Structure 1
Amino acid sequence: MDIYKEFIENSINPFILFSPEGNILEYNKEGEYLLSIAAKEELFELAINHASMHAGFKHTFLELQIGHSKFCAILVGYIDSETLGLMLYKNMCSTKIQKNSKELQSANIFTLIDIAINTNLEQTKVAAEYDVSIPEFKLDINHFLKTLNKIFKALKNTKELTVKVHIATGRSIKINQKRYRVVEILIESEEVKNLRNLEDEQLIITFENNLLRIELPFIT
């Protein structure tokens, strides 16, 4: 067993090894997950743009978000023209607080969303696109409803709003060394830009143009 390779393989930080053409040669477990949510071309470009002018290794401190993961630094290195390595360092200070699954309650996600909509969006035309094949799963009901109410209350003056719920293909959330599929809630409205400072200690919330995204672990 090569202890160096095992450390890289089991690191919480994604590692990817590229060829000069940008093809993937190797990756660790976290690198495999990162490649499922980010294009290899973008990651290769990131490595090229932050590589040293001469053979060696270069650390760069930056703020980078890919999916629900936030990174505070990257390491790019090469010792010859055959390979280029990239490691991204997770910003663990942004890790969400996950309750023990025994403290969670099973619920129908669509019922909870409809309760929040009916409570806050009486004057708004809401288009709902639900994957109703999603069964009940476990979450912190009170906290989830509190967060939804905060979001919809801030959007109460919007004329139209779209809510979509589905299982996110190829994505997962890791909790206590176990990966769970992701239930993704998408809220689209022109007023979403007013919520960009919204943060939550438990829920993964990200923004993209007029889109607010909530990612929940599918714990059954």
Structure 2
Amino acid sequence: MTFEQQWLEYDYNPFVLFSSKGKVLSLNSEAQFLLGSASAHELFELATTYANVTFGFKTTFLELEFGRYKFFALTIGYENEDEIGIKLYQVPSFKLNKPKPSGELTNIYTLVDLCISTNSISSTTKYLKDFDPTIPEIIIDINSFIKLLNKVYFCFKENETICTKIFYRVGEHIKFDKKKYSIFSVEIKADNINKAKSNELEVLVANTNFYVDIQKKITINIPMITS
């Protein structure tokens, strides 16, 4: 593998090269993870839809989401009728100017269950759970996390069903003091979100050390700091 090929292989942004019939000819490491959330057919359809009308390269800015992946643009390129490539540009997951989180070593499932129990009192809302059981005990500011998660649930309280998912973010890390930490997420979603309450949540998040993505669903991204 040449030096240039290694740059492509380890790029943070996924790249896939297709044949004219939609067969995957090559892809980089990040694209291999992406194909766990998006099908090759979906990516090929994007490539043919947003390709330039003549040979060459074309970049288009648009919002795309496949599972945990979010993109703000894509580039399509082809120089013949046999091959076409697509590169998707990921939205940065986290603001990296926050200090290393501090707090107590605790079980994240216990905290989430506590918040669900609190919010389900006198409520007809059904709370669904989809938990990856492999997340270890982590260091977290317990009071701040509970306050934040309760605010998140309040954004969705008018829904019949609220789903809470805890999952490991494969291939994503964050560095504090030159040490790399894996990341997991607590994701809450429902059919409707109270926009006014989510705006209040953004103000709260700005004053915390939590990395929160507020869209139609709300995701709290947490580093796995165990000691």
1:83, CA displacement in angstroms?
1.0
1:152, CA displacement in angstroms?
2.2
Contact 1:172 1:179 in 2 (8 A): no
Contact 1:173 1:182 in 2 (8 A): no
TM-score when scaled to structure 2?
A: 0.72
Divergent runs of 4+, >6 A: 98-102
Quick check: 14-23 or 54-63, which moved more?
54-63
Contact 2:72 2:89 in 1 (8 A): yes
1:26, CA displacement in angstroms?
0.8
Aligned length: 210
Contact 1:104 1:138 in 2 (8 A): no
Matched, 1:106 2:111: no
SS in structure 1 opposite 2:111? Answer: helix
Q: Alpha carbon RMSD of aligned pairs, Å?
A: 3.4
Matched, 1:34 2:26: no
Aligned mates of 1:8, 1:184 — CA distance in 2: 31
- Give the partner amino acid of 2:219: I
Matched, 1:214 2:219: yes
SS in structure 2 opposite 1:70? Answer: strand
Unaligned runs of 5+ in 1: none
Contact 1:106 1:136 in 2 (8 A): no
Aligned-pair identity (%): 32
Aligned mates of 1:91, 1:134 — CA distance in 2: 26
1:134, CA displacement in angstroms?
4.4
SS in structure 2 opposite 1:18? Answer: strand
Quick check: 120-129 or 24-33, which moved more?
120-129
> Within 5 A, what are the aligned runs for 1:1-220?
1-92=1-92, 95-97=94-96, 103=102, 105-125=104-124, 126-129=126-129, 131=131, 133-134=133-134, 136-138=136-138, 140=140, 141-156=142-157, 158=159, 160-165=160-165, 167=167, 172=170, 174-176=172-174, 180=182, 182=184, 185-188=187-190, 190=191, 192-195=192-195, 202-207=211-216, 212=217, 214=219, 216=221, 219=224
Quick check: 133-142 or 15-24, which moved more?
133-142
Aligned mates of 1:131, 1:31 — CA distance in 2: 25
Q: Per-residue displacement from partner, 1:36-75 (whole Å, max 9, x unpaired)?
A: 2111111111110111112111121223333333322211
SS in structure 1 opposite 2:7? Answer: helix
